[in-house]
């Protein structure tokens, strides 16, 4: 049984965190530097953006956790440290500052950055802030750390769950950032997960890699895949369960908890999309294959035309069929049914690929809510999938029109 608890990335035994303002970007008043530390070395796994242009921190992190181990995560916001001639040098310097400050190897530090691309990142403010960042580490530090990775986010994203494996109570928590430039092909923006479960690094990586396909890869805010997308998970084994070394019941329990956390974070990220006023959840059922269900759902949630229609509470279901049609999914348009649902009720708008009479007034009432389900039946197949997104508003253009300035 999975139970929601408080604590975020500090819910699991042995983890502390902190976040502070160090002044990376002029005029910023929110935290911009975060640190998460395990009291003991932990199994580590990560997934990275598939964009060919990658932030320097991803290259350094991939090297550091190649042995399946890590003990700390350092992350900054306000500057992506991407497309910089000295990017690798700066990322390595950030790891070295953490390592020297807490007494571990710099090769056991995960590093991440988010913010503006192509601006030089100075190590000076980070170096000056490191003593205070480390001194402030605490078991109550998840909130501060979650704030430290925010850019255009309007709310912090953190949660934790408790579950049982090997007869022991285990915990898994996470924090995430992301409002725009989200259309992942592996993960989404920055997500840091921590657990006290004992699990072999190879199985931790397998669980994360498989989970990404069903969660973060089904999320889209604006169709842009970031250069810095990364999801990492540290598992330090302090729960005391027998180490998971095979895909047994304990592995499945961990995988279920992982999905509970990642899918919840997806909802949070989608709802806080840049300029968004509505969370959109598209569920495709009746597909002949899981791949077809996922492709169709992701295509609908990524459609700019559909997102704009949802902003205007316009039940323009033709845009849904259009998105399904060009998605590449093996779906018979003549078998597609479409409905909209929210707290105000549910309304069918399309059956067997054709329009049906419905109340435009009722549809507008349903679509005026801040959480909307787009329900698509693709036929009589056995497979289904869910994708998360948001509406497209005037404010999205406003935010991204002067993002650097």
How confident is residue 180, by pLDDT bands cut at 50, 70 and 90? low
User: What CATH code is carried by the domain that includes residue 86?
Assistant: 3.60.70.12
Residues 140 and 287 in one domain: no
Picking from 271, 302, 321, the residue at the C-terminal end of a domain is: 271
Of 257-261, 274-278, 308-312, 320-324, minimum mean pLDDT range: 274-278
Residues 283 and 185 in one domain: no
Residue 341 has pLDDT above 70, yes or no: yes
Residues 213 and 357 in one domain: no
Of 49-63, 222-236, 238-252, 315-329, minimum mean pLDDT range: 222-236
Mean pLDDT of the region 298-319: 96
Residue 183 has pLDDT above 70, yes or no: no
Question: 96-108, pLDDT tens digit by residue?
Answer: 999 999 999 999 9
Q: What is the pLDDT of residue 181?
A: 53
**More confident call, 122 vs 181:** 122
pTM of the model: 0.90
Report the percentage of the chain scoring pLDDT > 70: 95
Residues 146 and 81 in one domain: yes
Q: What is the pLDDT of residue 405?
A: 58
Domain count, the chain: 2
Report the percentage of the chain scoring pLDDT > 90: 81
Assess contact for 220 and 229: CB atoms under 8 A: no
Residue 201 has pLDDT above 50, yes or no: yes
Mean pLDDT of the region 153-173: 95
Assess contact for 57 and 180: CB atoms under 8 A: no
Question: 372-399, pLDDT tens digit by residue?
Answer: 999 999 999 999 999 999 999 888 777 7
Catalytic, 386? Answer no
Structural domain that includes position 40: 3-271
Residues 38 and 103 in one domain: yes
Q: Which residues contact 369 (CB under 8 A, 6 or more apart)?
A: 278, 342, 343, 344
Picking from 244, 271, 298, the residue at the C-terminal end of a domain is: 271
Residue of 152, 188, 225, 227 with catalytic role: 188
Picking from 230, 255, 271, the residue at the C-terminal end of a domain is: 271
Q: What is the pLDDT of residue 404?
A: 57
Write down the residue that tokens 């530097």 correspond to.
33
Residues 252 and 291 in one domain: no
Q: What is the pLDDT of residue 186?
A: 43
Residues 243 and 366 in one domain: no
Q: What is the pLDDT of residue 289?
A: 98
Mean pLDDT of the region 206-220: 92
How confident is residue 124, by pLDDT bands cut at 50, 70 and 90? very high
């Amino acid at each position: 049984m999975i139970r929601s608890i408080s604590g975020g990335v500090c819910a699991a035994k042995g983890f502390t965190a902190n976040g502070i303002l160090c002044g990376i970007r002029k005029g910023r008043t929110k935290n911009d530097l975060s640190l998460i530390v395990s009291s003991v070395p932990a199994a580590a796994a990560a997934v990275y953006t598939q964009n060919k242009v990658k932030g320097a921190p991803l290259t350094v992190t991939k090297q550091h956790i190649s042995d399946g181990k890590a003990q700390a995560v350092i992350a900054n916001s306000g500057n992506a440290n991407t497309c910089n001639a000295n990017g690798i040098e700066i990322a390595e310097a950030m790891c070295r500052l953490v390592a020297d400050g807490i007494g571990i190897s710099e090769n056991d530090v995960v590093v991440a950055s988010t913010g503006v691309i192509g601006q030089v990142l100075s190590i000076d403010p980070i170096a000056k802030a490191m003593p205070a960042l480390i001194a402030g580490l605490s078991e109550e530090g998840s909130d501060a750390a979650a704030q430290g990775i925010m850019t255009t986010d309007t709310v912090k994203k953190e949660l934790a769950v408790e579950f049982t494996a090997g007869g022991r109570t285990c915990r898994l928590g996470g924090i995430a950032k992301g409002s725009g430039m989200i259309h992942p092909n592996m993960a989404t923006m920055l997500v840091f997960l921590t657990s006290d479960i004992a699990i072999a690094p190879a199985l931790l990586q397998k669980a994360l890699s498989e989970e990404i396909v069903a969660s973060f890869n089904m999320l889209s805010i604006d169709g842009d895949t970031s250069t810095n997308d990364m999801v990492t998970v540290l598992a330090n084994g302090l729960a005391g369960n027998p180490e998971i070394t095979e895909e047994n019941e304990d592995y499945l329990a961990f995988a279920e908890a992982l999905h509970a956390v990642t899918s919840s974070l997806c909802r949070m990220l989608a709802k806080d999309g840049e300029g968004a006023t509505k969370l959109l959840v598209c569920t495709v059922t009746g597909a002949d294959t899981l791949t077809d269900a996922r492709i169709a759902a992701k295509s609908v949630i990524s459609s700019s035309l559909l997102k704009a229609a949802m902003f205007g509470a316009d039940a323009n279901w033709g845009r849904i069929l259009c998105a399904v049609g060009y998605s590449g999914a093996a779906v018979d348009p003549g078998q597609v049914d479409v409905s909209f649902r929210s707290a105000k009720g549910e309304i069918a708008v399309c059956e067997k690929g054709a329009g049906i009479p419905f109340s435009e007034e009722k549809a507008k009432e349903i679509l005026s809510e801040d959480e909307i389900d787009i329900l698509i039946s693709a036929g009589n197949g056995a497979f289904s999938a869910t994708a998360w997104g948001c509406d497209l508003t005037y404010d999205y253009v406003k935010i991204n029109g002067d993002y650097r300035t």
